[in-house]
Amino acid sequence: MDFIFSTGSLWSYGIERCFELAARAGFDGIELMVDQRWDTRQPDHLRRLSDQHHLPIVAVHSPFAPSVPGWPPDQPGRIQESVKLARALGAQVVVHHLPIRIGWIQMQIGSKSLPLLVPGWDMGKPYCQWLERDYAELQKSAGLALCIENMPTKQILGRRWQLHHWNTPQEIVRFPSLTMDTTHLGTWGLEPADVYPRLNGQVRHVHLSNFDGNEHRRPETGRLHLDRFLALLARDSYRGVVSLEMLPDALDAGQSDDRVVELMAASLSQCRTWVG
């Protein structure tokens, strides 16, 4: 089983530095998180980095930012552009999110920008319609796996809020290929090893990180029994890759590169031990 590094784990760093640190830590490849920066979306530059550091770009994560310069403004358009980028890079997977089911506007209060919910506005409705009408055709023509990702819930005033369409194990299996995100399951109080058998063999990609009340912790630190989950994948002869997708603070971003690589390598080593 191959373990790759999501550049989203160090989104506050330049993309070239992400490749360098992942190579030093011993990862098998890269999941490219596409964002507003052109360096994350230029195939020639990315192929040079891949060749230089001997790290294939195995997966491309479609951007979820509302505005990406030079790319379509809508989610379906961004997914289609991500497919083109993935083909140019030889990636086998494109990851994208479930549609959000709420609406908000950004309110500027002094120097702070705050979201204001708009009751009755479903921002994700056009995206839902595209998924129901046109998604299957793109899957047939893409030549790679389009893997839709389960999303977190949010605790607000002691209540768990469902913010996305089709975001339960029973509903998400309507899509043929899935990205299973372990920390997002943790926000629901679910164990990945318990959910995985309920997904009908449709998991083609995994985002691995732990949950301790905060999302995207290092795999070995948190409440989730990821050792059980990885052992289950190994026993099930899982054929996809496992992408370590953390947050910069979990890797002590901003400290020395040696310290960041030390934590990356420790997490990678622990995952390989669990699989063994």
Using an 8 Å Cβ cutoff, are 59 and 91 in contact? yes
Using an 8 Å Cβ cutoff, are 15 and 39 in contact? yes
Residue identified by tokens 């819930």 is 153
Q: Where are the alpha helices (DSSP H) in 90-181?
A: 125-133, 135-142, 169-172
Could you tell me what percent of the chain has a pLDDT over 70?
93
Q: Nearest 10 degrees: CA dihedral of 223, 273, 26, 204?
A: -70
Helix (H) or strand (E) holding 259: helix 257-275
What token pair was written down for 82? 């991500």
- Taken as a whole, the chain contains a residue count of 276
pLDDT per residue as tens digits for the range 218-253: 999 999 999 999 999 999 999 999 999 999 999 999
pLDDT per residue as tens digits for the range 107-143: 677 776 666 655 555 677 899 999 999 999 999 999 9
pLDDT surpassing 90 at residue 276:
no
pLDDT surpassing 60 at residue 104:
no
Buried b (16+ CB within 10 A) or exposed e, 90-112: ebbbbbbbbbbbbbeeeeeeeee
pLDDT band at 6 (very low <50, low <70, confident <90, very high): very high
Residue type at 93? V
pLDDT surpassing 90 at residue 215:
yes
The pLDDT of residue 214 is 94
Residues 6+ apart with CB under 8 A from 243: 3, 4, 5, 6, 31, 58, 59, 205, 206, 207, 208
What contacts 24+ positions apart, CB below 8 Å, involve 134-138? 134/76, 135/175, 138/79, 138/80, 138/83
pLDDT surpassing 60 at residue 186:
yes
Strand pairing partners for 242?
A: 3, 206
pTM listed for this prediction = 0.93
- Mean pLDDT, residues 18-45: 97
